[in-house]
Copies of this chain bind each other. A is one copy, B any other.
């Protein structure tokens, strides 16, 4: 009887409720601290109860990615391919950035879920509708890589660095060993002229690279690039 009351007090478990709780918990305690056991505790159930809704932890992580990808805005209709792709990718970026663990988890997945596949399909469709050949679209998708979902692996986190400890990474006692790194780090930190007040503006960096790529794609498209005839010269 007591158990039944408990069960009624809490909404019954469902895959959706498990996934949303996992997302919220990861937002709160970080992805490396998220465990099946802690998630179960958070939901007030025994660990094994989760396994009726997700087959294992990998499937839980897949589901969490789906929740985040579901937060990406739908495509804006009636714009040219370039701004449509740009808008969609920046929306994906907003969704991914809202969950600090999301990029890392996306990268760890072996295979795309149907939800991720649907997103990719819509991006591919924008290029095809914009007149890109299947060939060029293929290579363009590879060149975008994870940038398609709004993030790229920076080699390390040189950025927000309100944390003074981060500065120490680039400027240790032996700064002289890395003159170019030091020069660059100094400029980024002190140059008031530049876009970067102090530290880097990640959003600026992202858009800089994205636009560089989109401009490159446009150029290749206009000159009739194909993988067997990269220069686009007429052969007939």
**Interface residues, chain A, CB within 8 Å of chain B?**
106-107, 109-112, 114, 116-118, 120-122, 124-125, 128, 134-135, 137-139, 141-143, 145-146, 148-149, 152-157, 169-170, 177-181, 183-184, 187-188, 191, 193-196, 200, 204-205, 208-209, 212-213, 215-217, 220, 227-228
In the bound complex, what is the Cα–Cα distance between A137 and B208 (angstroms)? Answer: 12
Residues of B near A213 (CB, < 8 A) are: 209, 212-213, 216
In the bound complex, what is the Cα–Cα distance between A138 and B187 (angstroms)? Answer: 9
Residues of B near A125 (CB, < 8 A) are: 179-180
Residues of B near A204 (CB, < 8 A) are: 139, 227
Q: Is the CB of A116 within 8 A of B155?
A: yes
Q: Is the CB of B183 within 8 A of A134?
A: yes
Please give me the residue from chain B that is nearest to A112 by CB atom: B156
Contact of A118 among B177, B188, B191 (CB under 8 A): B177
In the bound complex, what is the Cα–Cα distance between A112 and B188 (angstroms)? Answer: 18
Q: A118-B177, A121-B178 are in contact. Are A149 and B143 (CB under 8 A)?
A: no
Closest 7 CB pairs of A and B: A143-B209, A124-B180, A142-B205, A146-B153, A121-B178, A212-B216, A125-B180
In the bound complex, what is the Cα–Cα distance between A156 and B106 (angstroms)? Answer: 9
Q: A139-B208, A145-B155 are in contact. Are A124 and B216 (CB under 8 A)?
A: no
Please give me the residue from chain B that is nearest to A216 by CB atom: B212
Q: Is the CB of B153 within 8 A of A205?
A: no
Please give me the residue from chain B that is nearest to A128 by CB atom: B180
Residues of B near A187 (CB, < 8 A) are: 134-135, 138
Residues of B near A124 (CB, < 8 A) are: 180-181, 184
Contact of A208 among B116, B143, B191 (CB under 8 A): B143
Q: Is the CB of B152 within 8 A of A121?
A: no
Residues of B near A195 (CB, < 8 A) are: 227-228
Sampled A-B contacts (17; CB under 8 Å): A107-B107, A107-B153, A121-B178, A124-B184, A125-B179, A128-B183, A135-B194, A138-B184, A138-B188, A139-B204, A139-B209, A143-B209, A145-B153, A196-B227, A204-B227, A212-B217, A213-B213
Q: Is the CB of B156 within 8 A of A152?
A: no
